[in-house]
Chain A
Amino acid sequence: MLQSIVHVCLAGLSAGMFIWLVASGLTLIFGVLRVLNFAHGSFYMLGAYFCYTFLRFMGENFWLGLLVGPLCVCAAGFAMERFFLRYVYHLALPYQLLLTFAFVLLFDDLVKIFWGAGSIGSPAAPGLSGSISVLGRNFPVYSLFIIGVGPLIAVAMWVFLERTWLGCIIRAASSDREMASAIGVRVPALYTGVFMFGTWLGAIGGGLAVPYVGLLTPGMGETIIIDAFVVAVIGGMGSLKGAFLGALVIGLLSSFGTRFIPTFDMFLTFILMAVILVWRPQGLFGEST
């Protein structure tokens, strides 16, 4: 029983941290730009495909692929923000959503055109492909790595936003755009930068998914984006701390649910999401406004 619980915990932690990697970019973009980016799932997909392509080109080196791939996706993020999204910030919410939705359709088909419609089985990460025995049952090293990377990115983002000059400006711009602009911050450039950073985070999530999921398919972003939405909402829209804890809650809930409640379903996570929204619209860990 102990073995089972420990393993269910580990599976839940790795699932949660994996969702956090994707949700972090979504939350950051929403927190600063106030745009809910449907296409974030597409960046996740593109991250995976670019990472895979570079690792194939560069002698099966996953780590090099992980370094270069997401940077390419950043370029897509730049184009999307600079040439499209920028012109709809002042418009109502539905227009922004529709714009990002159009990009979902676009990216899905582009992936099919360039990489083919079929699924691609992807290789394990070199050096981390094995498993270690935890209480007599194997647990993949790579999942442990994900469990480690998640908090690392969280801490890095916290340090960046709270302790650096640039982070301070980002926070200022997110709480009051006009004021930031008045004191000489180039808000449009800042927005582009934040969007690209958020894109990069999504693409890193995709890159790390290459060994974690073990499979690339067109449309792979659409399954993760709803999870990321749920996490972002439960934690509190725009709150990075909330998204981190929200991801942990969702990861562990689905892992324990799958193991101990045979009828468990996504239904429960949506009930959780609804209850939290009704009770505390600012989310579990968001600050009330």
Chain B
Amino acid sequence: MAPLLQFEGVSRHYRLPRRRLFAPTPRVTALDAVSLELNPGETLGLVGESGSGKSTLGRLAVGLEQPDSGVVRLGGIDLAKASRTDWRRLRRDAQMVFQDPFSSLDPRLTVARIVAEPLGLLRLPAAEAAGRVREALAEVGLGVETLGRYPHEFSGGQRQRIAIARALITRPELLVADEPVSALDVSVQAQVLNLMADLKARHGLAYLLISHDLAVVAHLADRIAVMRAGVIVEVGPTAELLARPQHPYTRALLAAVLPPDPVRARARLGLVRRRRQSVGSAAS
């Protein structure tokens, strides 16, 4: 099976502001020769801390940025060599969902227009386009009554549903989701994660799921790639990576998770209280 998305030795640098007039411009390496593949229908989780390069990789995947070296292939097409016709197909096949559902939706547009936006690529007849909008909203659990409303009328979780509906409307094969739930509260986060799992099961959608939250990634991903300082330090099937992390950084990430269980969480933190007996155990 040919990979749906392929990074081959991809590097990306950013220039920083010059510190002195005649000094060379400092550069940071966001990605350092990264190679990674994503198969059709697969969910690949990309986990790492701020500045690890995970968002840059996501932006490269959909052509929002270009690599300084290396090749990004989407559906077998080298993005650096893609023609206009190729791009039309690529933009249909790969869509993106961003972290902040408050800034990624245009506040002046109705839900109907926001969701229909990517359809401009497909040049569909109006009636079919309207049908697609209703269908995409239904996919994410929103009714037709939302069509004429504006983003500010919705909660964070609902806005993220609107953003997902907009991404789904072109019937893509790949959804790049950059921190799709990190702006949401736990109870609402679960709604969106369940929706993403449903869409995957129903349509065989592939996800590149980018998150700092290992718990979120572990829940949805078939495979996990751990990134640090522009490099993938470890990649493997989710269950295996969780059970037998090889790289010390993966182990550190796993060890930093505090379970919602007082006994285990205290043990994780390794906290020994000297001054006072625990009130809980004193009272029982």
A joins B in a complex: no
On B, residues with C-beta under 8 Å from A are: none
On A, residues with C-beta under 8 Å from B are: none
